[in-house]
Amino acid sequence: MPIISLQNLWKSFDRRQVLQDMSIDVEQGESLVIVGGSGTGKSVTLKHIIGLLKPDKGRVVIDGQDLATLKEVELNQFRRRFGMSFQEGALFDSMSVFENIAFPLRRHTKMTEKEIRERVHECLEDVHLHNVVRKRPSELSGGMRRRVGFARAISLKPEILLFDEPTTGLDPVISDVIAELIEEMDVKLGTTTVTITHDMKVAFKIADRVAMLYQGHIIEQGTPEEFQRSKNPIVEQFIEGRAQGPLTDD
Amino acid sequence: MNTLFDRIGRTFLRLFEQTGLWFDALWRTIAWMFRPPYDVGEWFRQMVRVGVDSIPVVFLTTMFTGMVMSLQVHQGFARVHAEQFVASVVALAMLRELSPVLVGLMVTGRVGSSMAAEIGTMRVTEQLDALKALATEPIQYLFVPRVLAGVIMLPFLCILGDALGIYGGYLVSVKLMNTNPVIYKQNTFQFLQLNDVWVGLIKSSVFGLILTLTGCVRGYYTTGGAEGVGRATTYAVVSASLIILLSDFFLTKLLF
């Protein structure tokens, strides 16, 4: 049984249809990367998985549990099984790095301050960050903010990790560092990972399976090798990053 | 003509929508208030922000209003030789009306706006989504401490405003208008009833709820980046001030 199952999702905002009959499953321990152009509904898909958005039609089933059947409080409890990293980190700017990572530990565990301190340092080591605990998010670079976001996401040892555009806006070297970090965390923590990105280099590096979202539904999926060999002209154009092709003809 | 009706219709729809969102937020705030975990530290932090940090602005506003009130009433009452009632009028006006309303409006400008800006910025930078992703309900973590702080701290600020306003009136009457201080003090308390104090306190507590919840709701439903945050802040102050002034009439009628 897949741990994440998105079944025939439809979602629109005002009059704009974003997801149209979108379905995909993710197996336990798998690293799925969803790629697609800007505005194709990648972030919307990710937000459905964690219950931040509700579909107009269709079902989101996590580990056999349909999210629509959960009450507000139950959904809140259910989210402890997830760790999510946001595009720009979404760190709480009123808190220091330490407080950001300690936040879920203080709220959802009975850990002592000493244990929390140890866990925060452990998480920061996992993302290769040192001497930043006292800093404020505004004092960090883009790459560091993402990494602190990762550290916060893994602090409760989640079963499922979600990464929303982890390398957008970063230089190629830092992007590669972040990709390696995701790969490393995936292996070390053994979590199920769903990443959305439009950076194909990152996608091929971290994915067990790549899926492409286009016009609100999945048009192609497979292992990185299968995906690269795809004869779908839309996929080909996206991988090659060509200006001419079916993607730009629409 | 169609456009005019269209606009009127849209305005009413928006009004109903906003009212619905406000009451929905009120209901959810009450419901989340009684669910653990209780962020007692955050409750106190917000109480300091709403209450203690507002003391200077309340001090100046109510003190000077009491002074002006005394000056104006004295001028008017002198025409009918009723200067002895100045103290009673100042005290009654401050307790029942001026202190709660002025405190409500000033704290709206100071705190309601900053709450809308703070939560609005959290919305546009995905911090609210991050809170939810961390299994924390924003209503519980952000709304509950702020609304509690408003409901609890505004009456204290109102008491302070009452005292300062009455003292301001006393200063002007005694020092500038040469009223006998003993008689002024006697007249201040002569016609007062305990009910006058309660009316002001109940009003200020309701105003505390209105200004904090409006700030939170406006911030929570912010859309459109920095411009949206600016708009939310302005709307928060304008709508909370209007609701305070409108509800003041109905509360006065109810509690008269």
- A123 in contact with chain B, both atoms CB, cutoff 8 A: no
Q: How many CB atoms lie within 10 A of CB B8?
A: 10
Query: What is the reported pLDDT for A26?
Result: 95
> Could you tell me the two tokens for A192?
């199920």
Flag whether B11 is in a domain: no
Q: Region A61-79: what's the mean pLDDT? A: 92
Query: CA-CA distance, A192 to A32, in Å (whole number)?
Result: 8
Residue of B49, B124, B126 to mutate when probing chain A, most A C-beta within 10 A:
B126
Query: What is the reported pLDDT for B49?
Result: 95
Residue B256 has pLDDT above 80, yes or no: no
Cα distance from A91 to chain B (closest Cα, Å)? 7
Residue B40 has pLDDT above 80, yes or no: yes
Q: Which domain holds residue B124?
A: 40-255
The percent of residues in chain B predicted with pLDDT above 90, rounded, is 84
Residue B48 has pLDDT above 90, yes or no: yes
Residue of A84, A85, A101, A140 to mutate when probing chain B, most B C-beta within 10 A:
A84
For chain B, what is the domain count? 1
Q: Is the CB of A152 less than 8 angstroms away from the CB of B37? A: no
> Which residues of chain A are within 8 Å of residue B145 when distances are taken between CB atoms?
none
Q: Chain B residue with minimal CA distance to A51?
A: B133
Query: What is the reported pLDDT for B1?
Result: 63
| φ, ψ dihedrals at A57, nearest 5° | -145, 155
pLDDT band for A88, please (50, 70, 90 cuts).
Answer: confident
Q: Region B48-64: what's the mean pLDDT? A: 96
Query: What is the reported pLDDT for A93?
Result: 92
Flag whether B106 is in a domain: yes
Question: In chain A, positions 69-98, which contact chain B (CB-CB < 8 Å)?
Answer: 72-73, 76-80, 82-84, 86-88, 90-93
Flag whether B20 is in a domain: no
pLDDT, mean over chain A: 91
Residue A10 has pLDDT above 90, yes or no: yes
Among B49-58, B77-86, B171-180, which range has the highest average pLDDT? B49-58
- A13 in contact with chain B, both atoms CB, cutoff 8 A: no
For chain A, what is the domain count? 1
Q: Region A155-171: what's the mean pLDDT? A: 90
> Which residues of chain B are within 8 Å of residue A162 when distances are taken between CB atoms?
133
Q: Which domain holds residue A42?
A: 4-249
Query: What is the reported pLDDT for A130?
Result: 85
The pLDDT tens digits for B182-221 are 999 998 988 888 889 999 999 999 999 999 999 999 999 9
Residue A137 has pLDDT above 70, yes or no: yes
pTM of full prediction above 0.95: no
Residue of B119, B134, B141 to mutate when probing chain A, most A C-beta within 10 A:
B134
Residue A118 has pLDDT above 80, yes or no: yes
CATH, residue A99: 3.40.50.300
Identify whether the C-beta of residue B146 lies closer than 8 Å to the C-beta of residue B26: no
Least confident span in A19-33, A180-194, B157-171: A180-194
Flag whether B237 is in a domain: yes
Query: What is the reported pLDDT for A37?
Result: 87
Query: What is the reported pLDDT for A153?
Result: 93
Which residue did the predictor score with more confidence, B221 or A186? B221
Residue A74 has pLDDT above 70, yes or no: yes
pLDDT band for A169, please (50, 70, 90 cuts).
Answer: confident
Q: Is the CB of B132 less than 8 angstroms away from the CB of A79? A: yes
DSSP string, A27-78: -TT-EEEEE--TTSSHHHHHHHHTTSS--SEEEEEETTEEGGGS-HHHHHHH
Identify whether the C-beta of residue B247 lies closer than 8 Å to the C-beta of residue B206: yes
The set of residues, in sequence order, having a beta carbon less than 8 Å from that of A40 and lying 6+ positions away, is A213, A214, A215, A216
Flag whether B26 is in a domain: no
Residue B128 has pLDDT above 90, yes or no: yes
Query: What is the reported pLDDT for A224?
Result: 94
Query: CA-CA distance, A7 to A61, in Å (whole number)?
Result: 8
Query: CA-CA distance, B242 to B248, in Å (whole number)?
Result: 10
Residue A77 has pLDDT above 90, yes or no: no
Backbone angle region of A19, left / alpha / beta, with phi > 0 → left and psi within -120 to 50 → alpha: beta
Nearest Cα residue to A104 out of A84, A131, A74, A75 = A84
Query: CA-CA distance, B135 to B148, in Å (whole number)?
Result: 22
The pLDDT tens digits for B79-121 are 988 888 899 999 999 999 999 999 999 999 999 999 999 999 9
